[in-house]
């Protein structure tokens, strides 16, 4: 057994927006069942009045004073860093105005690694009228559409916000959610290794399923659910020799709203689909110098909001030096 806990008192203060303070705490338990099976549990509770950007806690409830380099009146300019509101987060990621429990099991015999996790959380208090969510597929590519800046409220429907190497969409809900919202998430990852002759294949698959609604469930998949998101990411690596590994990838995601999320002129809720596939190579020139080449085709469309669409190709080459 291993366990640890931490707790503190955190807050925010500014001349314009006042001062808030609140509790933040988390605990984690790890249990090694046997050499190839490990169980973990993680509980957390963070007040809507607590904030800790340095601790990677997403700010869902506190307005912050902010300054950016975008001239006033232009898209993305803002004197206030608005909170994200109810947020769809990655597994294990923390946000204020949230309390919940994550459980995880990992199984790793020879040449196989399987990891399955479930997260259930809810808002500390209700009253939200906004919803924020990212896109697992093409997250880094989307952020490059606004290179060198981090604007808010951009895109054809002014709902995209840009952060470092990522973006998220923020939408207004039709009515204030007086009751706390509930979040459910399943995540499964499998990685396995297969040797054919003197070559080695490695396959990696990551499946995610999320739901947000006004009632708790293991995972709400009904059409009337406030928000649902599904994603599948696949990668294959062929180790050709000690200097060269070939890479292939294919991924897709879907983000689905209901009538309380934003709807189009015909009353249809958002129905977003993203995809990407490509290939690449990892090249080790020496043990301390390596190159990473990737080329992919990508696309995205919202079947209800037709202006929110893009597609293209991207080629990247990264050089990494170890000292």
Note the pLDDT tens digit of each residue in 26-44: 999 999 999 999 999 999 9
pLDDT band at 79 (very low <50, low <70, confident <90, very high): very low
Q: What is the pTM of this model?
A: 0.89
Top-confidence residue, 67 or 119: 119
pLDDT band at 116 (very low <50, low <70, confident <90, very high): very high
pLDDT band at 54 (very low <50, low <70, confident <90, very high): low
pLDDT band at 284 (very low <50, low <70, confident <90, very high): very high
* 43-47, 79-83, 110-114, 201-205, range with the lowest pLDDT: 79-83
The reported pLDDT for the residue numbered 91 is 87
* CA–CA distance, 216 with 96 (Å, rounded to integer): 19
The reported pLDDT for the residue numbered 80 is 45
* 161-175, 198-212, 215-229, 270-284, range with the lowest pLDDT: 161-175
Taking only the tens place, the pLDDT of each residue in 176-216 is 999 999 999 999 999 999 999 889 999 999 999 999 999 99
Taking only the tens place, the pLDDT of each residue in 131-156 is 999 999 998 899 888 877 778 888 89
Closest CA to 86 of 196, 211, 258: 211
Please check the confidence at residue 65 and state whether its pLDDT lies above 80: no
pLDDT band at 272 (very low <50, low <70, confident <90, very high): very high
* CA–CA distance, 234 with 244 (Å, rounded to integer): 20
The mean pLDDT of the chain is 89
């Amino acid at each position: 057994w291993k366990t640890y806990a931490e707790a503190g008192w955190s807050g925010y203060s500014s001349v314009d927006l006042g001062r808030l303070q609140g509790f933040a705490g988390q605990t984690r338990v790890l249990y090694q069942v046997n050499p190839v099976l490990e169980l973990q549990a993680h509980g957390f509770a963070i007040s809507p009045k607590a904030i800790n950007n340095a601790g990677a806690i997403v700010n869902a409830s506190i307005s912050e004073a902010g300054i950016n380099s975008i001239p006033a009146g232009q898209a993305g300019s803002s004197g206030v860093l608005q909170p994200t509101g109810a947020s769809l987060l990655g597994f294990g990621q923390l946000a204020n105005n949230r309390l919940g429990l994550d459980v995880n099991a990992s199984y790793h015999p020879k040449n196989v690694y399987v990891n399955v996790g479930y997260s259930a959380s809810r808002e500390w208090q209700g009253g939200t009228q906004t919803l924020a969510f990212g896109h697992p597929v093409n997250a880094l590519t989307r952020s490059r559409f606004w290179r060198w800046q981090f604007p808010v409220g951009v895109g054809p429907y002014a709902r995209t916000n840009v952060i470092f190497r990522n973006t998220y969409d923020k939408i207004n809900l039709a009515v204030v959610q007086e009751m706390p919202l509930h979040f459910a998430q399943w995540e499964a990852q499998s990685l396995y290794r297969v040797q054919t002759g003197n070559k080695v294949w490695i396959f990696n698959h990551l499946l995610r399923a999320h739901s947000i609604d006004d009632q708790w469930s293991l995972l709400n998949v009904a059409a009337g659910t406030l928000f649902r998101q599904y994603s599948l990411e696949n990668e294959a690596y062929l180790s050709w020799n000690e200097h060269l590994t070939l890479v292939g990838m294919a991924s897709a995601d879907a983000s689905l709203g209901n009538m309380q999320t934003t709807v189009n002129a015909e009353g249809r809720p958002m129905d977003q689909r993203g995809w990407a596939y490509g290939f690449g190579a990892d090249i080790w020139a020496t043990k301390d110098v390596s190159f990473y080449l990737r080329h992919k085709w990508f696309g995205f469309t919202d079947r209800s909001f037709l202006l929110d669409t893009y597609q293209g190709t991207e080629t990247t080459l990264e050089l990494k030096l170890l000292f």
